[in-house]
């Protein structure tokens, strides 16, 4: 049996593992730094205390019961292509076929001060840290007897006007409208604002003009202050500096302003393209390396005529690439040729607030309540495990009916971070 080692258990790696799960000619090992798969599109709802983290995570070992896939917990340190080995922090693995599907990490664009003080949104740990931080700042705000401190402690700046930034802003604005006054009766006045900042002249830049206009209109109606054509240049933990000289006093900066592919030591320099993405051919094989593939957000494929600058770093691309690579590896074992990857763009969507969403399809656009229902349905389907789907559906139903989810819990390890507060 060929040893297939998949590095990364996100959408791309997991769908590939599922495709090969019943193969009699492949022994699959999935390597990930976490022992669970999680659903990134809903991280912001964990970070804003709307759903619990357990709703969107599922352990790999339970997922792979009665399959030919094994799980290996570790962090990739280096690839040794000539020896067909990968080195991790927990040992070395041999491979016949290596698939890199590690995705991306937050890009702070070399700004160490922002990296030190801002809150990213790329992992379950990030989401829980955000939840704790925001709730702790509100506790400090209501204890303060100075209005200027109340505003600074309760103000939130979100850098990045893409889907994540828009969804975070909408969720926090809803929280401010329905929950803050009930939870914090001491704060009768003086609380701060939510700011959404982007360097472009619009929000949801990859989406249609109608979606962009709807997002701006809904967020403004919710009281979000939208600052376009400006970049966040610095942040010291108390004041956000913008490119036009504006200073915003805020104890929370959420960084949703960009990503960069995870680094893979050991690959040839000529295989690395823009944004540190790995250059692959039409079959997702890394240029110049036989038996080494890259899929999902981490790869840069320039052979698809409809996406000559590379595919967007979206879940659907990762899922489709994982599925096709699984089919191609099985086809090769059966003596059949591989199929070139062509992305089937099914459209994009973003939720803005309660009952408000936008959906762009290849042949049209719609918004409002129906779009919001479609968004909910589409985001429940990929959740791993029937119990998680049911729990998430119930939690959503309860939270939307009551406007009062009960997950505003400050739970943190007893370490130096906790003692800061």
Q: Are residues 78 and 140 in the same domain?
A: no
295 and 367 share a domain? no
293/250 same-domain check: no
The verdict on 147 and 250 lying in the same domain is: yes
CA distance 153 to 238: 8
Segment 158-181, tens digit of pLDDT: 999 999 999 999 989 988 777 777
Report the alpha-carbon distance of residue 134 to residue 185 in Å, rounded.
Answer: 17
Is the pTM higher than 0.85?
yes
Among 333, 362, 385, residue at a domain's last position:
333
Model pLDDT, residue 305: 92
The CATH number that applies at residue 270 is 3.50.50.60
Does residue 362 share a domain with residue 299? no
Q: Does residue 368 form part of some domain? A: yes
pLDDT at 128 over 70: yes
397 has pLDDT over 80: no
| Residues 206 and 277 grouped into a single domain | no
> Where does residue 8 rank: exposed (0-12), middle (13-18), buried (19+ CB within 10 A)?
buried
**Any domain includes 64:** no
Domain boundary among 333, 368, 390: 333
Question: Does residue 27 sit in the same domain as residue 79?
Answer: yes
388-396 long-range contacts, CB within 8 A, separation 24+: 388/54, 388/55, 388/56, 388/57, 388/58, 391/54, 391/55, 392/51, 392/55, 392/56, 395/51, 395/52, 395/55, 396/51
- With respect to residue 59, please indicate whether it lies within any of the assigned structural domains: no
**pLDDT at residue 154, as a whole number:** 92
Residue 58 placed within a domain: no
Q: What are the two backbone dihedrals, phi and then psi, of residue 197, each rounded to the nearest 5 degrees?
A: -115, 135
| Window from 298-302, 340-344, 403-407 with minimum mean pLDDT | 403-407
Residues ≥6 apart with Cβ < 8 Å to 232: 114, 157, 159, 197, 240, 241, 242, 243, 253, 257
Q: Do 205 and 267 have their domain in common?
A: no
Do residues 22 and 358 make contact, with C-beta atoms less than 8 angstroms apart?
no
Question: Which pLDDT score is estimated for 186?
Answer: 79
Do residues 369 and 323 share a domain? Answer: no
Residue 383's pLDDT band (boundaries 50, 70, 90)?
Answer: confident
Residue 341 lies in a domain: no
Structure confidence at residue 26 as a pLDDT band (50, 70, 90): very high
Active site members = 167
Give the CATH number, domain containing residue 148.
3.50.50.100
Would residue 7 count as lying in a domain?
yes
What is the per-residue pLDDT across 103-118, written as a single tens digit (0 to 9) for each? 999 999 999 999 999 9
At residue 419 the predicted structure's pLDDT band, cuts being 50, 70 and 90, is: very low
Domain identity same for 300 and 327: yes
Range of the domain at 248: 112-257+354-419
Q: What angle do CA 297, 364, 223 make, to 5 degrees?
A: 75
Task: Kindly give the pairing relationship between strand 104-106 and strand 259-261.
Answer: antiparallel
- For the chain, give the mean pLDDT: 90
* pLDDT tens-place string over residues 80-102: 999 999 999 999 999 999 999 99
Give the number of domains in the chain.
2
Whether pLDDT at 307 is above 90 = yes
Q: Tokens 């959408």 belong to which residue?
A: 11
Confidence category of residue 23, pLDDT binned at 50, 70, 90: confident
Q: 61 in a domain, yes or no?
A: no
Least confidently predicted of 105-109, 145-149, 212-216, 417-421: 417-421
* Pair (226, 278) in one structural domain: no
Token pair of 247 as six digits: 């200073």
Question: In which band, very low, low, confident or very high, does the pLDDT at 404 lie, cut at 50, 70 and 90?
Answer: low
Does residue 49 lie within any of the structural domains? no
Residues 242 and 126 in one domain: yes
Inform me whether the pLDDT recorded for 399 exceeds 90. no
């Amino acid at each position: 049996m060929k040893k297939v080692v998949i590095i990364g258990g996100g959408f791309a790696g997991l769908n590939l593992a599922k495709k090969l799960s019943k193969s009699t000619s492949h022994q699959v090992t999935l390597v990930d730094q976490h022992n669970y798969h999680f659903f990134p599109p809903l991280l912001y709802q964990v970070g804003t205390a709307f759903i619990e983290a357990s709703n969107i995570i599922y352990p790999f070992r339970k997922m792979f019961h009665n399959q030919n896939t094994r799980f290996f917990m570790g962090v990739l340190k280096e690839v040794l292509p000539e020896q067909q080995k990968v080195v991790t922090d927990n040992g070395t693995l041999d491979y016949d076929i290596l698939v890199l599907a590690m995705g991306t990490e937050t890009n702070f664009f070399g700004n160490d001060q922002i990296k030190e003080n801002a809150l990213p949104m790329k992992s379950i740990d990030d989401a829980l840290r955000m939840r704790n931080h925001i709730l702790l700042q509100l506790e400090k705000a209501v204890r303060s007897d100075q209005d200027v401190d109340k505003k600074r402690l309760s103000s939130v700046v979100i850098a990045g006007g893409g889907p994540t930034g828009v969804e975070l802003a909408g969720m926090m604005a809803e929280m401010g409208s329905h929950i803050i006054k009930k939870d914090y009766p001491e704060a009768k006045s003086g609380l701060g604002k939510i700011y959404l900042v982007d360097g472009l002249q619009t929000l949801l830049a990859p989406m249609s003009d109608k979606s962009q206009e709807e997002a701006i209109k809904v967020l403004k109606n919710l009281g979000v202050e939208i600052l376009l054509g400006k970049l966040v240049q610095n942040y010291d933990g108390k004041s956000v500096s913008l490119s036009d000289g504006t200073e915003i006093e805020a104890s929370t900066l959420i960084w949703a302003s960009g990503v960069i592919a995870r680094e893979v030591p050991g690959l040839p320099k000529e295989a690395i393209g823009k944004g540190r993405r790995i250059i692959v051919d039409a079959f997702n094989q890394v240029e110049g390396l036989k038996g080494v593939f890259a899929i999902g957000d981490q790869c840069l494929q320039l052979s698809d005529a409809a996406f000559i600058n590379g595919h967007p770093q979206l879940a659907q691309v990762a899922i489709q690439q994982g599925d096709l690579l699984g089919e191609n590896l099985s086809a090769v074992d059966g003596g059949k040729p591989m199929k070139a990857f062509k992305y089937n763009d099914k459209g994009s969507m973003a939720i803005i607030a309660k009952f408000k969403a936008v959906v762009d399809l290849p042949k049209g656009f719609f918004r409002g309540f129906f779009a919001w229902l479609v968004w909910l349905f589409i985001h429940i389907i990929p959740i791993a495990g029937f119990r998680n789907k049911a729990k998430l559906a119930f939690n959503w139903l309860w939270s939307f009916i009551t406007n009062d989810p009960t997950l505003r819990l400050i739970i943190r390890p007893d370490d130096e971070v906790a003692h800061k507060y």
